Amino acid sequence: MSCIASAVGLGNVWRFPAICAKWGGASFFIPYMIVLFVVARPLFLLELALGQFSSKGSVRCWDLSPIFAGLGYAGCASSVLLSTFYILLMAWALIYATLSVVSMVGGEVVWGNASGPYFGNQVLRAIEFDSEDNTQFLSWVPVCHLVLALLLAWLIIWATMVRGVEASGKIAYVTALVPYLVLIILVVVGFCLEGSMLGVTYFIVPDFKLILDPQVYHDYGPFTS
Protein backbone atom coordinates (compact mmCIF):
# COMPACT_ATOMS: atom_id res chain seq x y z
CA MET A 1 0.00 0.00 0.00
CA SER A 2 2.90 2.35 0.71
CA CYS A 3 4.31 1.72 -2.77
CA ILE A 4 0.91 2.37 -4.33
CA ALA A 5 0.63 5.60 -2.34
CA SER A 6 4.06 6.80 -3.45
CA ALA A 7 3.15 6.19 -7.10
CA VAL A 8 0.64 9.07 -7.13
CA GLY A 9 1.72 12.64 -6.61
CA LEU A 10 2.11 16.01 -8.28
CA GLY A 11 3.76 14.31 -11.23
CA ASN A 12 0.47 12.64 -12.12
CA VAL A 13 -1.75 15.65 -11.57
CA TRP A 14 0.44 18.47 -12.86
CA ARG A 15 3.81 17.52 -14.36
CA PHE A 16 2.75 14.62 -16.58
CA PRO A 17 -0.10 16.51 -18.32
CA ALA A 18 2.16 19.55 -18.79
CA ILE A 19 4.93 17.50 -20.44
CA CYS A 20 2.40 15.64 -22.57
CA ALA A 21 1.04 18.96 -23.79
CA LYS A 22 4.57 20.20 -24.52
CA TRP A 23 5.60 17.14 -26.56
CA GLY A 24 2.44 16.39 -28.48
CA GLY A 25 0.55 14.07 -26.17
CA ALA A 26 1.34 10.52 -27.21
CA SER A 27 4.75 11.63 -28.51
CA PHE A 28 5.78 11.81 -24.86
CA PHE A 29 3.62 8.94 -23.63
CA ILE A 30 5.39 6.37 -25.83
CA PRO A 31 8.94 7.24 -24.62
CA TYR A 32 7.50 7.42 -21.12
CA MET A 33 6.30 3.81 -21.32
CA ILE A 34 9.61 2.66 -22.87
CA VAL A 35 11.76 4.20 -20.14
CA LEU A 36 9.26 3.11 -17.50
CA PHE A 37 9.63 -0.59 -18.33
CA VAL A 38 13.30 -0.56 -19.35
CA VAL A 39 14.75 1.62 -16.56
CA ALA A 40 12.35 2.82 -13.87
CA ARG A 41 10.43 -0.36 -12.99
CA PRO A 42 13.51 -2.66 -12.94
CA LEU A 43 15.33 -0.26 -10.61
CA PHE A 44 12.22 0.01 -8.46
CA LEU A 45 11.97 -3.77 -8.17
CA LEU A 46 15.70 -3.99 -7.43
CA GLU A 47 15.28 -1.53 -4.57
CA LEU A 48 12.40 -3.51 -3.10
CA ALA A 49 14.22 -6.81 -3.55
CA LEU A 50 17.36 -5.57 -1.80
CA GLY A 51 15.34 -4.31 1.13
CA GLN A 52 13.37 -7.55 1.46
CA PHE A 53 16.46 -9.73 1.05
CA SER A 54 18.69 -7.89 3.53
CA SER A 55 16.01 -6.56 5.94
CA LYS A 56 18.10 -3.39 6.16
CA GLY A 57 17.75 0.25 5.20
CA SER A 58 18.88 1.97 2.03
CA VAL A 59 22.46 2.34 3.31
CA ARG A 60 23.09 -0.90 5.22
CA CYS A 61 21.61 -3.04 2.46
CA TRP A 62 24.76 -2.30 0.42
CA ASP A 63 26.90 -4.20 2.91
CA LEU A 64 26.74 -6.98 0.34
CA SER A 65 28.73 -4.71 -2.00
CA PRO A 66 30.22 -1.75 -0.09
CA ILE A 67 31.44 -0.05 -3.24
CA PHE A 68 27.81 0.88 -3.96
CA ALA A 69 27.17 2.33 -0.49
CA GLY A 70 27.20 5.80 -2.04
CA LEU A 71 23.92 4.93 -3.73
CA GLY A 72 22.35 4.45 -0.33
CA TYR A 73 23.61 7.78 0.98
CA ALA A 74 22.49 9.49 -2.22
CA GLY A 75 19.04 7.96 -1.78
CA CYS A 76 18.83 9.29 1.78
CA ALA A 77 19.93 12.75 0.67
CA SER A 78 17.40 12.83 -2.17
CA SER A 79 14.66 11.71 0.24
CA VAL A 80 15.48 14.60 2.58
CA LEU A 81 15.40 17.12 -0.27
CA LEU A 82 12.19 15.68 -1.68
CA SER A 83 10.54 15.66 1.75
CA THR A 84 11.32 19.33 2.38
CA PHE A 85 9.93 20.16 -1.06
CA TYR A 86 6.67 18.27 -0.57
CA ILE A 87 6.18 19.45 3.00
CA LEU A 88 6.25 23.04 1.72
CA LEU A 89 3.58 22.16 -0.84
CA MET A 90 1.56 20.66 2.00
CA ALA A 91 1.87 23.94 3.90
CA TRP A 92 0.62 25.85 0.86
CA ALA A 93 -2.31 23.42 0.57
CA LEU A 94 -3.22 24.12 4.21
CA ILE A 95 -3.18 27.85 3.47
CA TYR A 96 -5.39 27.33 0.41
CA ALA A 97 -7.84 25.25 2.47
CA THR A 98 -7.96 27.87 5.23
CA LEU A 99 -8.49 30.74 2.80
CA SER A 100 -11.25 28.86 1.01
CA VAL A 101 -13.14 28.25 4.27
CA VAL A 102 -12.65 31.85 5.40
CA SER A 103 -13.85 33.17 2.04
CA MET A 104 -16.96 30.99 2.11
CA VAL A 105 -17.83 31.91 5.70
CA GLY A 106 -17.10 35.59 5.21
CA GLY A 107 -18.84 35.76 1.87
CA GLU A 108 -15.78 37.20 0.15
CA VAL A 109 -15.24 35.96 -3.39
CA VAL A 110 -11.51 35.44 -3.91
CA TRP A 111 -11.37 32.34 -6.09
CA GLY A 112 -12.35 34.18 -9.24
CA ASN A 113 -8.77 35.35 -9.73
CA ALA A 114 -6.35 33.53 -12.00
CA SER A 115 -4.35 30.89 -10.17
CA GLY A 116 -0.99 32.62 -10.60
CA PRO A 117 -1.97 36.07 -9.29
CA TYR A 118 -4.07 34.49 -6.56
CA PHE A 119 -1.14 32.40 -5.38
CA GLY A 120 1.18 35.40 -5.37
CA ASN A 121 -1.21 37.99 -3.97
CA GLN A 122 -3.36 35.97 -1.57
CA VAL A 123 -1.30 32.94 -0.52
CA LEU A 124 2.31 34.10 -0.47
CA ARG A 125 2.25 37.90 -0.20
CA ALA A 126 5.70 37.48 1.30
CA ILE A 127 7.41 39.87 -1.13
CA GLU A 128 5.87 43.19 -2.05
CA PHE A 129 7.12 45.83 -4.45
CA ASP A 130 7.48 49.56 -4.03
CA SER A 131 5.98 51.07 -7.17
CA GLU A 132 8.31 54.10 -7.03
CA ASP A 133 11.75 52.47 -7.07
CA ASN A 134 10.73 48.84 -7.66
CA THR A 135 12.39 47.64 -4.46
CA GLN A 136 11.42 44.50 -2.57
CA PHE A 137 10.66 44.16 1.10
CA LEU A 138 9.23 41.47 3.33
CA SER A 139 5.69 41.62 4.61
CA TRP A 140 6.11 39.82 7.93
CA VAL A 141 2.49 38.92 8.57
CA PRO A 142 2.18 36.59 5.53
CA VAL A 143 5.62 35.16 6.35
CA CYS A 144 4.34 34.27 9.82
CA HIS A 145 1.33 32.57 8.21
CA LEU A 146 3.65 30.52 6.01
CA VAL A 147 5.81 29.53 8.97
CA LEU A 148 2.78 28.47 11.02
CA ALA A 149 1.41 26.45 8.11
CA LEU A 150 4.80 24.79 7.66
CA LEU A 151 4.95 23.99 11.38
CA LEU A 152 1.47 22.48 11.24
CA ALA A 153 2.45 20.37 8.23
CA TRP A 154 5.49 19.00 10.09
CA LEU A 155 3.32 18.29 13.15
CA ILE A 156 0.96 16.25 10.97
CA ILE A 157 3.91 14.23 9.66
CA TRP A 158 5.19 13.75 13.22
CA ALA A 159 1.76 12.56 14.38
CA THR A 160 1.64 9.93 11.63
CA MET A 161 5.14 8.60 12.40
CA VAL A 162 5.43 8.98 16.19
CA ARG A 163 4.31 5.41 16.82
CA GLY A 164 6.87 3.94 14.45
CA VAL A 165 6.86 2.24 11.09
CA GLU A 166 4.05 -0.13 12.12
CA ALA A 167 1.55 2.75 12.22
CA SER A 168 2.48 3.87 8.73
CA GLY A 169 0.95 0.70 7.30
CA LYS A 170 -2.51 1.72 8.52
CA ILE A 171 -2.00 5.31 7.39
CA ALA A 172 -1.08 4.01 3.93
CA TYR A 173 -4.67 2.85 3.44
CA VAL A 174 -5.70 6.51 3.47
CA THR A 175 -2.70 7.98 1.65
CA ALA A 176 -2.93 5.27 -1.02
CA LEU A 177 -6.66 5.43 -1.73
CA VAL A 178 -7.45 9.15 -1.45
CA PRO A 179 -5.13 10.25 -4.33
CA TYR A 180 -6.72 7.69 -6.65
CA LEU A 181 -10.17 8.90 -5.63
CA VAL A 182 -9.10 12.47 -6.45
CA LEU A 183 -7.72 11.34 -9.84
CA ILE A 184 -10.99 9.57 -10.65
CA ILE A 185 -12.93 12.73 -9.79
CA LEU A 186 -10.61 14.81 -11.99
CA VAL A 187 -11.05 12.36 -14.88
CA VAL A 188 -14.84 12.43 -14.60
CA VAL A 189 -14.91 16.23 -14.39
CA GLY A 190 -12.46 16.47 -17.30
CA PHE A 191 -14.61 14.28 -19.54
CA CYS A 192 -17.61 16.48 -18.76
CA LEU A 193 -15.84 19.60 -20.05
CA GLU A 194 -16.48 20.91 -23.53
CA GLY A 195 -13.88 19.71 -26.04
CA SER A 196 -12.61 16.93 -23.78
CA MET A 197 -12.44 14.43 -26.65
CA LEU A 198 -10.03 16.73 -28.49
CA GLY A 199 -7.69 16.36 -25.54
CA VAL A 200 -8.06 12.58 -25.58
CA THR A 201 -7.30 12.50 -29.30
CA TYR A 202 -4.24 14.70 -28.75
CA PHE A 203 -3.05 12.24 -26.11
CA ILE A 204 -3.42 9.02 -28.16
CA VAL A 205 -2.29 10.20 -31.62
CA PRO A 206 1.52 10.60 -31.62
CA ASP A 207 3.80 12.74 -33.75
CA PHE A 208 6.47 10.18 -34.66
CA LYS A 209 9.03 12.87 -35.49
CA LEU A 210 9.02 14.02 -31.87
CA ILE A 211 9.53 10.46 -30.59
CA LEU A 212 13.06 10.55 -32.03
CA ASP A 213 13.89 13.80 -30.21
CA PRO A 214 16.29 13.05 -27.29
CA GLN A 215 14.80 15.95 -25.31
CA VAL A 216 11.57 13.97 -24.96
CA TYR A 217 13.46 11.25 -23.10
CA HIS A 218 15.33 13.84 -21.06
CA ASP A 219 12.05 15.33 -19.83
CA TYR A 220 11.12 11.89 -18.55
CA GLY A 221 13.66 12.41 -15.74
CA PRO A 222 11.24 13.82 -13.09
CA PHE A 223 9.11 10.68 -13.33
CA THR A 224 11.82 8.07 -12.79
CA SER A 225 11.29 8.19 -9.03
Spell out the residues 6+ positions from residue 132 whose beta carbon is closer than 8 angstroms to its own: none
How many domains does the chain divide into?
1
Average pLDDT over residues 27-47: 80
Is residue 225 over pLDDT 50? Answer: no
Is residue 2 over pLDDT 60? Answer: yes
pLDDT for 170-204, tens place per residue?
A: 777 787 788 788 888 988 998 898 888 888 888 77
H helices within 64-139, ranges in order?
69-106, 115-118
pLDDT of residue 155: 92
pLDDT for 55-65, tens place per residue?
A: 888 888 888 88
pLDDT of residue 223: 46
User: Kind and range of the H or E element at 150?
Assistant: helix 140-161
pLDDT of residue 201: 83
Is residue 5 over pLDDT 80? Answer: no
pLDDT for 67-119, tens place per residue?
A: 888 888 988 888 888 888 888 888 888 888 887 777 655 555 545 556 666 77
Spell out the residues 6+ positions from residue 62 whose beta carbon is closer than 8 angstroms to its own: 50, 68, 69, 71, 72
Average pLDDT in the chain: 76
pLDDT of residue 151: 93
Other Cβ atoms closer than 10 A to 6: 14
Is residue 133 over pLDDT 80? Answer: no
Question: Across-strand partners of 127?
Answer: 138
Average pLDDT over residues 126-148: 60
115 lies in which domain range? 2-223
